[in-house]
């Protein structure tokens, strides 16, 4: 096929009709066109997802976790990243009629022991919530645990050895639908920083880290497409210190809050009337008391490897519903109906201020617009607090 057709005829001694048939046959074997292109309709029909178990969180993420892709989960400590990974590890094994992928899971832990006790306590409540009591009664927790293959790595060397040999062998079975790496940044940020040769922060250090990230990203993409499984990579965050006056932008739920004021009270008169409520003057159900900014670790290189990013936040703060006048209570003409009013006991108001609120945000993905959903964490995992989510903010 490296010579022109006329030269092929001359060398083979065939006539033009015979030569054309043989030429076409050889070409079809070298480049089988029917295997090299796919219709968009076929791709749509084969598209598969892992549901989070909550329809509003799924809507926020564009349908859940799409197989064949690398999805990053980012958040500060205690934001619930591992909890969400455990929830997805359960959901991936459920039948497709319940939003699962009817497959098995590989869980790679780089930050300590795998939280098997939390997994055990979450399984039945989650299955009961998603699949119903009848299905949950016949569900086997031990069977689910047997379908999660756990690998714990204390060093980067052992993790890469597993990626070279063990993980490909397990994936080749064709039963794996979810691979969790919790977390992708642990060894690349800390173990390399503590290298004995003192190269931390040097040019050689960053070249080596770039090589590791590129190698892992290429493997994950190849495996995700070949075996039609989703890769969940947990990432850490770094702080970005900003001036709240000069920089009015912020990451996360504060995008939906007007945080240009502060709570204050007068020494004279009713403090309820003199309280500056501009901090809590929000347009929707998301309020936050923070001015910090967080950015994912590992830089722009890793951000260009992943296909989608899920951001997780937790903050202490008030929701507008905490400040509204209860229905049927007297207003005395001070608030104009159901406007926000701190007409509560100070101790109760303080309790609301100290309450932890959580958000899950679809930061970017090629299949869904940016969206955010407030969630709560219970024995059965994450659930949305209401049917309202913020989209395209």
Out of 9-13, 15-19, 113-117, 190-194, least confident range = 190-194
pLDDT band (50, 70, 90) for residue 103: very high
pLDDT digits (tens, 9 = 90+) for 257-289: 433 333 333 333 333 333 333 333 333 333 333
Would you state the torsion angle of the CA atoms of residues 195, 200, 202, 206, taken in this order, to the nearest 10 degrees? 80
More confident residue, 215 or 280: 215
Mean pLDDT of the chain: 77
Q: Which two tokens stand for residue 299?
A: 């830089």
pLDDT value at residue 148: 96
- For residues 374-386, one letter each, b for 16 or more C-beta atoms within 10 angstroms of the residue's C-beta and e for the rest, the string is bbebeebbbbbbe
Q: What percent of the chain has pLDDT over 70?
A: 68
pTM exceeding the 0.75 threshold for the entire prediction:
no
Given a contact cutoff of 8 angstroms between Cβ atoms, the answer to whether 359 and 252 are in contact is: yes
Phi/psi at 326 (5° precision): -55, 145
With 0-12 CB in 10 A as exposed, 13-18 as middle and 19+ as buried, what is 318? buried
Give the integer Cα–Cα distance in Å for 343 and 271.
Answer: 10
Which residue from 238, 216, 252 is spatially nearest to 70, judged by alpha carbons?
216
Q: Residue 67: is its pLDDT beyond 50?
A: yes
pLDDT band (50, 70, 90) for residue 244: low
Rg, Å, the chain Cα set: 27
Give the integer Cα–Cα distance in Å for 83 and 350.
Answer: 28
pLDDT band (50, 70, 90) for residue 193: very low
pLDDT value at residue 48: 92
pLDDT (average), residues 5-25 = 82
Q: Residue 209: is its pLDDT beyond 50?
A: yes
Counted residue by residue, the chain has a size of: 393
Assign 110 to helix, strand or coil: coil
Angle of CA points 32, 35, 37, to nearest 5°: 110
E-strand ranges in the chain read 49-50, 65-66, 70-75, 104-109, 148-152, 176-182, 230-235, 237-240, 293-296, 308-316, 356-364, 371-378, 381-384, 390-391
Give the integer Cα–Cα distance in Å for 199 and 176.
Answer: 38
Given a contact cutoff of 8 angstroms between Cβ atoms, the answer to whether 121 and 210 are in contact is: no
pLDDT (average), residues 238-250 = 61
Give the integer Cα–Cα distance in Å for 136 and 95.
Answer: 12
Give the integer Cα–Cα distance in Å for 295 and 359.
Answer: 16
Q: 260 to each of 280, 285, 290, 323, 373, how far by Cα in Å? A: 9, 17, 11, 18, 23
Out of 22-31, 137-146, 154-163, least confident range = 22-31
Residue 168: how many other CB atoms lie within 10 Å: 15
What residues contact 255, with CB distance under 8 A and at least 6 apart? 249, 372, 393
Give the integer Cα–Cα distance in Å for 83 and 51.
Answer: 15
Q: Residue 225: is its pLDDT beyond 90?
A: yes
pLDDT value at residue 44: 72
Give the integer Cα–Cα distance in Å for 124 and 111.
Answer: 26
Q: 37 to each of 13, 34, 40, how far by Cα in Å? A: 34, 6, 10
Which residue from 360, 353, 352 is spatially nearest to 385, judged by alpha carbons?
360
């Amino acid at each position: 096929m490296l010579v022109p057709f006329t030269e092929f005829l001359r060398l083979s001694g065939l006539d033009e009709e015979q030569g054309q048939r043989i030429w076409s046959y050889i070409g079809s074997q070298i480049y089988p066109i029917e295997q090299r292109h796919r219709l968009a309709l076929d791709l749509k029909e084969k598209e598969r997802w892992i549901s989070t178990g909550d329809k509003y969180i799924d809507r926020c993420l564009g349908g859940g976790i799409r197989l064949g892709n690398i999805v990053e989960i980012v958040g500060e400590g205690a934001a619930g990243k591992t909890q969400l990974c455990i929830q997805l590890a359960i959901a991936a094994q459920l039948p497709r009629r319940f939003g699962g992928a009817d497959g098995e899971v590989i869980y790679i832990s780089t930050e300590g022991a795998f939280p098997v006790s939390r997994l055990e306590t979450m399984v039945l409540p989650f299955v009961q919530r998603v699949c119903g009591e009848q299905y949950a009664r016949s569900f086997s927790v031990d069977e689910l645990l047997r379908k999660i293959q756990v690998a714990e790595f204390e060093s980067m060397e052992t993790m890469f050895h597993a990626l070279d040999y063990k993980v490909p062998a397990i994936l080749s079975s064709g039963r794996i639908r979810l691979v969790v790496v919790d977390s992708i940044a642990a060894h690349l940020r800390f173990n390399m920083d503590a290298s004995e040769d003192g190269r931390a922060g040097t040019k050689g250090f960053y070249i080596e880290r770039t090589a590791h990230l590129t190698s892992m990203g290429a493997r994950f993409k190849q495996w995700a497409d070949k075996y039609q499984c989703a890769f969940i990579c947990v990432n850490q965050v770094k702080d970005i210190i900003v001036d709240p006056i000069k920089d009015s932008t912020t990451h996360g739920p504060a995008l939906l809050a007007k945080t240009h004021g502060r709570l204050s009270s007068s020494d004279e008169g009713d403090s309820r009337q003199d309280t500056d409520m501009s901090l809590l003057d929000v347009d929707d159900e998301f309020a936050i008391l923070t001015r910090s900014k967080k950015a994912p670790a590992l830089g722009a290189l890793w951000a260009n490897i992943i296909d989608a990013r899920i951001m997780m936040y937790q903050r202490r703060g008030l929701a507008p519903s905490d400040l509204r006048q209860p229905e049927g209570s007297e207003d005395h003409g001070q608030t104009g109906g159901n406007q926000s009013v701190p007409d509560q006991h100070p101790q109760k108001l303080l309790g609301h201020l100290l309450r932890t609120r959580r958000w899950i945000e679809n930061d970017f993905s090629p299949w869904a617009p940016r969206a955010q959903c407030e969630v709560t964490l219970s024995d059965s995992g994450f659930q949305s607090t209401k049917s309202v989510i913020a989209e395209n903010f």
